[in-house]
Structure 1
Amino acid sequence: MKTTSLLCTAMQKFILSAILAMPVSIAALAQTGQLQERNKDVILKYQERINSGDANGAVQYISKDMKNFGKVVGQDGVRAVLNDVFTTFPDWRAETVEIAAVGDAVIARQKVSGTHLGISKIPVNGGLLVNVLPTGNRFEVPHLHWYTIRDGKIVEHHGNRDDLGMMQQLGLVPRSLPAPGIQPQPDNTTNCYPFKAPRNLSG
């Protein structure tokens, strides 16, 4: 009987402790949820500035020592990339299809499009468009971006883009290759020869 009484007392204490801890746990979950929503808002506002062609406004959401694929680029590096993108694709736009936040990370799946009307000078978008003359063609490809947010700023970024699809749609890379033993023929879709580097490509 004494053992049963001790077990009951211990169980009561455990239940009481759990009940007392519940408000703290609920508050912590609520706080985490609010932080994740704020982090998503940072990325959405950052993307809004990019879509409006405002490089200076966009870098306000970038930390001074922000890393891109592990390399420190900071605000100046991001500004340079954005200005080059805006020159190459004046109508560059990224539509956020899905966005999710986990901890300090925000993952965004996007549909990115633009019209090739300028000449890129720095190796962005895979470095495939440096010094390439404008084709006047439009592209639309998927992007996936992973951001780390701290104190309302983007401190790190990784991403995955369909650069090959972009180049194919711009007419700079053939959409398909001939079977082995078949003589390459001009590709009327891309206006370039299979196995031949894009014209005006240097660097």
Structure 2
Amino acid sequence: MESWEMREWFAEYLDACNRHDLDAIRSFVAPAVRRAHLPSGADAWIDDKADLFRAFPDWRWRRIQLVVEDDRIAAHVRGSGTHLGNYRGVAATRRHVNIAQFAMYRVAAGRIAEFSGSGYDAELLAQLAAPEW
């Protein structure tokens, strides 16, 4: 894909994520996707997204910056949502969280083949556990 096509592709992927459309998200992910420090495979990818969307039904990502080079995308996005369901053992707090995420994607045949980046779990859980002011 050309650089402009990769940008459009990522915008479509982010749109699918923001709609919480797991079937559409799956169409962007290679069945054997490799994720640094996380379980591999599309099923694990979808399970993680489903857990997030159940706990944060209003979750949305906003693109901050995107860099495309060859078959790679470097993305800086911000994710936010309201904690209304159980997430990683933490019962709903009704807190609104806002986190930064930095990710590297390798795209092959129009699908995410490899992913690495800052996970959002640690920062998200820290915001849920932080004392309220």
TM-score, structure 1 normalization = 0.60
Specify the code of the residue in structure 1 equivalent to 2:109: D
Give 1:39's aligned residue: 6
- Picking from 21, 32, 46, the partner of 1:79 is 46
- Give the 4+ runs in structure 1 shifted more than 4 A: 161-165
Greater relative contact order, per chain length (Cα 8 Å cut-off, separation 6+):
2
Whether 1:152 and 2:114 are equivalent positions in the alignment is: no
* TM-fit CA distance, 1:159: 1.2
Compared with structure 1, are the counterparts of its residues 166 and 81 closer, same or farther at alpha carbon in structure 2 (3 Å cutoff)?
A: closer
Which is greater in Rg? 1
* Structure 1 gap ranges (5+): 1-33, 121-129, 175-187, 190-203
For each residue in 1:22-67, what CA deviation from the matched residue of structure 2 results, as whole angstroms up to 9, or x when unmatched? xxxxxxxxxxxx6222222222211111101111111101111111
Q: Assess if the C-alpha contact under 8 Å between 1:63 and 1:154 holds in 2.
A: yes
Q: Assess if the C-alpha contact under 8 Å between 1:42 and 1:153 holds in 2.
A: no
The CA distance in 2 between the partners of 1:40 and 1:72, in whole Å, is: 26
Whether 1:119 and 2:86 are equivalent positions in the alignment is: yes
Higher helix content, 1 or 2: 1
What is the 5 A alignment of 1:188-203?
189=133
What is the 5 A alignment of 1:60-139?
60-69=27-36, 73-120=40-87, 130-139=88-97
Q: Between the two proteins, what is the percent identity of the paired residues?
A: 23
Higher strand content, 1 or 2: 2
Q: Assess if the C-alpha contact under 8 Å between 1:94 and 1:113 holds in 2.
A: yes
For each residue in 1:137-195, what CA deviation from the matched residue of structure 2 results, as whole angstroms up to 9, or x when unmatched? 0011211111001111110011114655433433x135xxxxxxxxxxxxx52xxxxxx
Compared with structure 1, are the counterparts of its residues 168 and 76 closer, same or farther at alpha carbon in structure 2 (3 Å cutoff)?
A: closer
Give 1:48's aligned residue: 15
Q: What CA RMSD, in Å, does the superposition of the two structures yield over aligned residues? A: 1.9
